[in-house]
């Protein structure tokens, strides 16, 4: 069955279709009227452009629906339109009163509107089309399945764990709550942090000031003295013999621990950093290349690895990676079952995890991996744990509601850092769309309602968000220029989606932003001078790319939104889920945002993808080893 939407989505569908919602007798013939045979085209605007369809009619039946054109977000809207799920639903129901794909509401609504437009061209009154009742019996009993490893969730961590376990020779089943893979992973716009990679060595090292700034910041954390001393020695050695690009596992750890306010689990952070470069190499084996290396907030050096398209432009990492991982899972004989929310972890009398129960399925397994994501879409749970975040929008996928945490707690799992919830500073508020942090790393700046910079734009997310919330109206504008647009397909997508305002000069940009013209002009000229001098006297920014001096200029109005939940299930370095007393729950593993302890009080951009690949691999291998 398709994942049903809320009443809100159904109301949107009704706006486009006026379809009757009352049931009718079974059969394949519409309840009223006959059609004029032929093929008719219809179109409607989706999230990123036009969705165009062709509907083929016989005298008394909708015979076929084809998607002719679409430019929706890869891994989200494009995934919803992939295959024949939506088209077949129209054919099966003989109406447009169908269920959409949760997580792709705008795209689903556009598809229905396009089909409606095609039918209306054929002279069909869609209000007369009574949905056919019938098909599969949803009241049938559960299917019982058997496998070595069952995985809850088909996001980045779950898919990676599945591939790893399958490559170790184990039979694997993934149960995914939603109608498509991806979870929050597919929405990741930045990249993946990794230290000491060949990709980094292709860059010239110009980050001395950033490394020195980090070493100074480490002094605030006495527990990090030995780690900082190790980094200082590595840096001194590099300066004496500057070959390649400077980074190290220890500097990755230091950045992550400082970013997390040193409440992270050091052992988990070490596992993350140690596994990052091997994970980049592993991704290549499944067909994913993250070749572009750039700067991100909280990182001392260029460490975030990003994919490029055929034109050499940076693309969003999540929508690039998830389809590749999904195909690799299928190629490795992993069975993925969608629309199957897991409701319970099954244990035997000894407390060992022996499978899961889901809607429609019972899966008996020798090991269980929880990879169901955090709880950033459960805004009631967010507000309960951190009342200061009540009323914030969320960038999270709709299925990220904390199910895995609750199920694991029910079998004795401990949690850690549950009140540590990150807000991201650059979220488009009307759509809750995440505006990638990579833009600031590549040279974008933030200005307030007065047209002034107010912070180091590449500081940690918590610091930038806090500064933003103190500005007039609690929002800011993110500014880029045409040179940045030319280098990034991501910005082109933002422009196409209507997030930007544009000006051919600083003066005209200020006018459409409705900020003081003189102030913005001065801000831009001062910033460009700072880039030339590689010195920011105002806020101490140490990351400089190119000046913002290529017209036209673009700005996006943004404000903070709930983005990542750092807290979750307590795990060890083998990804085993732990009880409150520190002992492991036999047979139970976890990876990705469902876990806690890795990121501390604040996650650095680029560490989520590193987390789900590194710990996805660890959990998959640990589960496979356990089955032995």
On average, the pLDDT of the chain sits at: 93
Owner of token pair 């409607």: 44
Q: Mapping DSSP to helix (H, G, I), strand (E, B) and coil, where does residue 193 land?
A: strand
For residues 457 and 155, give the distance between their C-alpha atoms in angstroms, rounded to a whole number. 30
pLDDT digits (tens, 9 = 90+) for 425-461: 999 999 999 999 999 999 999 999 999 999 999 999 9
pLDDT at 130: 83
**C-alpha separations of 536 from 517, 528, 533 in Å:** 22, 10, 8
pLDDT at position 77, please?
A: 85
Range with the poorest average pLDDT among 68-82, 270-284, 441-455, 537-551 = 68-82
CB 607 within 8 A of CB 599: yes
Judged against a pLDDT cut of 50, whether residue 84 lies above it is answered with yes
Q: Tell me which DSSP letter residue 314 carries.
A: B
Distance, in Å, from the CA atom of 44 to the CA atom of 51, rounded to the nearest integer, reads 5
Q: Across residues 96-105, what is the average pLDDT?
A: 86
29 pLDDT more than 60? no
Give the model's pLDDT for residue 104. 85
On whether the CB atoms of residues 116 and 126 are closer than 8 A, the answer is yes
Contact 70, 51 (CB under 8 A): yes
Q: Provide the pLDDT confidence category of residue 231 given band limits of 50, 70 and 90.
A: very high
Check pLDDT > 80 for residue 350. Answer: yes
Q: Is 226 helix (H, G, I), strand (E, B) or coil?
A: helix
End-to-end CA distance of the chain: 36
Give the per-residue pLDDT at 73: 78
Task: Give me the mean pLDDT over the 527-549 stretch.
Answer: 95
All domains of the chain in start order, with CATH = 7-128 (3.90.1010.20), 424-561 (3.90.700.10)
3-class state of residue 437 by DSSP: coil
Cα–Cα distance between 361 and 150 in angstroms, integer?
Answer: 12
> What confidence tier does 235 reach under pLDDT thresholds 50, 70, 90?
very high
Exposure string (b/e) for 355-376, b if CB count within 10 Å is 16 or more? bbbbebbbbebbbbbbbbbbbb
**Bond before 552 cis per omega within 30 degrees:** yes
* Residue 345, beta-bridge partner list: 356
Q: Which residues are catalytic?
A: 461
pLDDT, tens digit (0-9, with 9 covering 90-100), for 487-523: 998 999 899 889 999 999 999 999 999 999 999 999 9
pLDDT at residue 4 greater than cutoff 70: no
Distance of CA 358 to the CA centre of its chain: 24
Higher pLDDT, 431 or 1: 431
Residue 356 is given by DSSP the state: E
Greatest CA separation for the chain: 84
Alpha-carbon distance of 510 to 48, in angstroms, equals 26
């Amino acid at each position: 069955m398709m994942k049903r939407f809320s009443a809100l989505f159904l109301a949107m569908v009704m706006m486009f279709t006026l379809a009757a919602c009352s049931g009718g007798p079974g059969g394949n013939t519409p309840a009223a009227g006959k059609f004029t045979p032929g093929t008719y085209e219809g179109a409607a605007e989706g999230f990123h452009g036009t969705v165009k369809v062709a509907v083929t009619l016989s005298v008394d039946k909708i015979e076929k629906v084809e998607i002719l054109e679409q430019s929706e977000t890869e891994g989200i809207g494009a995934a919803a339109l992939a295959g024949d799920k939506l088209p077949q639903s129209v054919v099966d129901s003989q109406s447009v009163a169908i269920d959409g794909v949760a997580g792709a509401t705008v795209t689903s609504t556009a598809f229905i509107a396009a089909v409606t437009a095609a039918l209306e061209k054929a002279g069909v009154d869609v209000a007369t089309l009574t949905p056919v009742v019938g098909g599969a019996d949803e009241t049938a009993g559960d299917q019982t399945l058997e496998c070595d490893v069952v995985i809850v969730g088909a996001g980045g961590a779950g898919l990676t764990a599945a591939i790893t376990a399958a490559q170790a020779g184990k039979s694997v089943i993934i149960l995914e709550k939603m109608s498509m893979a991806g979870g929050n992973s597919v929405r990741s716009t930045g990249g993946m942090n990794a230290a000491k990679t060949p990709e980094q060595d292709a860059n010239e090292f110009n980050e001395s000031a950033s490394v020195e700034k980090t070493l100074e910041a480490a002094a605030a954390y006495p527990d990090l003295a030995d780690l900082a001393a190790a980094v200082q020695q590595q840096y001194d050695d590099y300066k004496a013999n500057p070959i390649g690009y400077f980074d190290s596992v220890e500097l990755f750890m230091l950045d992550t621990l400082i970013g997390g306010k040193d409440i992270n689990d050091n052992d988990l952070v070490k596992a993350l950093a140690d596994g990052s470069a091997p994970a980049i190499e592993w991704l290549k084996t499944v067909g994913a290349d993250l070749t572009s290396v750039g700067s991100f907030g909280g990182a001392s050096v260029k460490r975030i690895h990003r994919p490029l398209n055929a034109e050499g432009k940076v693309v969003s990492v999540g929508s690039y990676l998830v389809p590749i991982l999904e195909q690799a899972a299928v190629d490795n004989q992993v069975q993925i079952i969608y629309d199957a929310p897991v409701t319970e972890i099954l244990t035997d009398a000894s407390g060992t995890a022996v499978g899961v129960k889901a809607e429609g399925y019972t899966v008996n397994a020798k090991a269980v991996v929880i990879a169901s994501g955090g709880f950033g879409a459960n805004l009631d749970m967010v507000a309960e744990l951190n009342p200061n975040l009540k009323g914030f929008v969320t960038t999270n996928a709709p299925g990220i509601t904390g199910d895995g945490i609750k199920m694991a707690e029910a079998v004795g799992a401990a949690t850690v850092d549950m009140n540590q919830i990150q807000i991201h500073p650059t979220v488009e508020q009307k759509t809750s769309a995440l505006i990638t942090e990579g833009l600031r790393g590549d040279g974008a700046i933030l200005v307030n309602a007065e047209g002034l910079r107010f912070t180091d734009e590449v500081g940690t997310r918590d610091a930038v968000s806090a500064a933003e919330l103190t500005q007039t109206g609690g929002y800011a504008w993110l500014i880029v220029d045409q040179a940045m647009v030319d280098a990034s397909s991501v910005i082109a997508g933002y422009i196409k989606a209507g997030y930007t305002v544009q000006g051919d000069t600083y003066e005209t940009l200020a006018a459409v932003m409705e900020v003081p013209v003189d102030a913005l002009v001065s801000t831009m000229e001062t910033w460009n001078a700072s880039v030339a001098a590689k010195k920011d006297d105002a806020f101490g920014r140490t990351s400089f790319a190119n000046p913002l001096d290529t017209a036209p200029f673009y700005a996006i109005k943004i404000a903070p939104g709930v983005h990542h939940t750092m807290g979750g299930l307590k795990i060890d370095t083998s990804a085993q889920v732990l009880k409150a007393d520190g002992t492991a729950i036999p047979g139970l593993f976890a990876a990705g945002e469902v876990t806690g302890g890795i990121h501390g009080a604040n996650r650095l951009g680029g560490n989520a993808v590193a987390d789900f690949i590194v710990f996805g691999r660890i959990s998959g291998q640990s589960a496979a080893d356990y089955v032995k």
